[in-house]
Amino acid sequence: MSDIVVLGSANMDLVVRQPRLPEPGETMFGASFMTVPGGKGLNQAVAAARAGGDVAFLGAVGNDAFGDALRDCLREDDIDVHGVIEVDEPTGTAHISVLDGGENAIVVVPGANAVITELDDDAQRRIEDSRYLVAQFERPIELITEAFVVAHGLGIQTVLTPAPVMPVDPGLLQLTDILIPNAGEARALAGVDDDAEAAKALSRQAGLVVMTRGSKGALVARDGVIESEVAPRRVQPVDTTAAGDTFAGVLVAMLAEGAALGRALQAATVAASIAVTRAGASTSMPTRAEIDALLG
């Protein structure tokens, strides 16, 4: 069994590079198109594995070419795919517009990711034998909640990226040991307009909040107090897709290895800064050697 279990989405990303978003009713030319394995869950699993983590993936795909490609992608990084279930719905897709300057806009069609709503016996055993359980909101909330109840009851560290953001039962946050929202997600969850106040408010419910803020770095909050601020690493972004997933996956991999929180945060920041200088989601994520070379 694996140290890190990722209960998450697997999508095929359909990526168009374009100068801007079109106006309603407008047709415009894009510069390029590519298909890239993605989904927040798959991305975080790949990021953690490339950083040295021992990772298993619990997901769902369709009986189609995209599903085959996603399983192959996970296997290439030595991720355990025995928990990837084939269902009747098509494999999930994400339709991504990458704009000049590196920003992106994304529409996700969940497909197979939305089918399974409760843990089967095999998934429960894999969670019970892990040390970290990682989830996002691209799988059914009832499935995530059930998994967190199991993990929390056994003292397994639960890690949640609340994206795409949605109203959350406070009970789920109370089951979360590490909450990793971006600033917009944190403000939406907390119902406040200030980044620091949002992080502090959420940290009164979840165990530890690590709020990512893109080029502003990250804020770390616990028990209603901002503990530290993580400085960014300055780079020229090419594509910000999966930067947050890279950060989360590497953070968990480093913690699972026994790194102190400060060191894990630095590694996650370096990894995300590398990822945004490359195109694509899983294709942009660095290896451990690349991370270590910049950590010093």
Residue 57 belongs to what H/E stretch?
strand 55-62
Residue 35 belongs to what H/E stretch?
strand 32-38
- 44 CB contacts (<8 Å, ≥6 apart)? 6, 8, 134, 136, 161, 245, 248, 249, 252
Strands 178-179 and 157-161, bridge-based pairing = parallel
Q: Are 198 and 211 in contact, with CB atoms under 8 Å apart? A: yes
Q: Are 190 and 201 in contact, with CB atoms under 8 Å apart? A: yes
Main-chain dihedrals φ then ψ at residue 166, nearest 5 degrees: -155, 165
User: 3-state SS string over 43-106?
Assistant: HHHHHHHHCCCCEEEEEEEECCHHHHHHHHHHHHCCCEEEEEEEECCCCEEEEEEEECCCCEEE
Q: Are 221 and 203 in contact, with CB atoms under 8 Å apart? A: yes
Q: Are 41 and 59 in contact, with CB atoms under 8 Å apart? A: yes
Active-site residues, by number, are 245
Strand partners, 7: 58, 135
